[in-house]
Each structure stands twice: as structure tokens, then as C-alpha cells.
Structure 1
């Protein structure tokens, strides 16, 4: 487990970038936990930019998933905040996204835990004082431990 203080948005982007580099060509399932505004999408933006994404990164709150192909790597960014019934994930073919080598980033996974495979990494984001936040990174699998090694 690693605890990180995120002094500002740039620190959150930098942590996302380090995670992105660690996951490059590796594949991973990453759960992003935290209340509204704690930096889940900002962390994802840093992650995707580190892998070569040049456009904007917005949370797929209404579409549930935003796919990216970066350097021949499949990356899926889920936001389950507006999920009303976890069974909706079955209707959208959720299991089809969890392919070997894919990187899956899931905001609000607690809204559908019974429909999701276990994560390799769980990142809990929270508030500290005004303007700063914290991140707790926990490896949940052996792959997750391997991915955290360059972060520590």
C-alpha cells in the first residue's frame, strides 16, 4: 500500500502518468474510489496522456464507457456514477471489455461490484485540506504489486 499527498491538479496528473507508464503493455484492472471532485477523472487524464492521448478526457458519466486505442493498447474508462441497475452492464456486454492485455479504469466500481472482476489496483482518492487531496494505492493481485513497484 502506498499513500500519496496530491498538493494540486498537477500532482494528480503526475501520479496518473506514473501509473500509465507502469501499466504500458501490461494490462490491468484499476478501481478508482472517492467522492465527487476528488480527482478520479484527473488521474485518468494523466494516465491516458502518458500513453499518448492528445485530446480531452472527460468522464463517461452518461455513456458509461469511453474506449481508447493508444499504441495498439486497448484502454477502457468506465464511470458508473449514474448506473441505476448493475444489470445494465450485462446488457452492454461488460465482459467483452475485460480482454487479456486491456487496461480498464473504473470510476465508482462500488455501484456494480458483483458484475466486475476483482481489480489489480484500487486507488482511493480523498480530500485533505483545501486544494489538496490524498491517494491510497493498494495492490489487490500479484500483477498489482508488480505495477506499484515503480510508483513507490
Structure 2
């Protein structure tokens, strides 16, 4: 598999929303509130006035969409990862790392000093990826979300300079 990354475009939003809804309903048992949260994140991204401080990537192979990752401004010095998804067929291929590399390079190049992301403890692969990349857990918060009892984990890392890739 040799997917390429390209900017995520508005015409990709239906696929991004559909994949997030389907996957998290089937695998995590998340209710419709999750799809609403994804739709809200997409709308916020598209409406953001400072496009130079945000970016989004879609991984594609031919016409197949395989994954996505969004990077948004969370504060003057902090970039936040959002909507990180890799299709089941592309998992274990290094695609998640490629998407994360692109986000780290963008964030550092855009002048952010810190990279942050939130996920749930049940997402073991994502948690392991963030830990391998030197991101530390900054908060653990039990919460009721999307029809489930979950533990949200907030991760963060400092960005000194654009990474050379891994």
C-alpha cells in the first residue's frame, strides 16, 4: 500500500463524517451524539477565519480514501489534532504515522510550540502512537459521552522545530 496525502477538501467531508459515524458506532458503541460532534468539528474547521493556522490531510490510494487528520489552532502557541481516522484496511501500514508526521511538520512550521490531542483510553492504538511520539498524558477525565462511560486522555508534546519525518 502506498497512499499519498493531499489536503482534505470540503467534498471529502461527507466521507469523513460517514466513516467516523459508522466506525465509532460499530466498534465503540457510540451514539448519534458522536456524529453530531464530528459534524460540528468539520463545520468549525471550514468556517475558521485563520486558515493559515490550520490544515487537514486526506490519505488516498487511487480513488480510495483511507484516512484523515485535522490540525487546528487551540491557542496562540498550541495546535490541536482533530478527526484522526485510519480506515481498518489501512491500519498497521504506517499510515497513521505518516498523517501524524504531516501534522507535526505543519504545526511546527506554522509557529506552534505545542501539539495537543484528546482521545479515549479505550483507543489503545492511538494512545500507543502518541506515547511513541513523545506525547505525555496531561489529564485523565472520566466522562459520560456518546452514550458510554469513558476516560478522556489529553496528550501534549512540545514542538521545537519541524520534524524531519520518522
TM bracket, shorter-chain basis: 0.3 to 0.5
Higher relative contact order (CA 8 A, sep 6+): 1
By percentage of residues, which structure has more helix?
A: 2
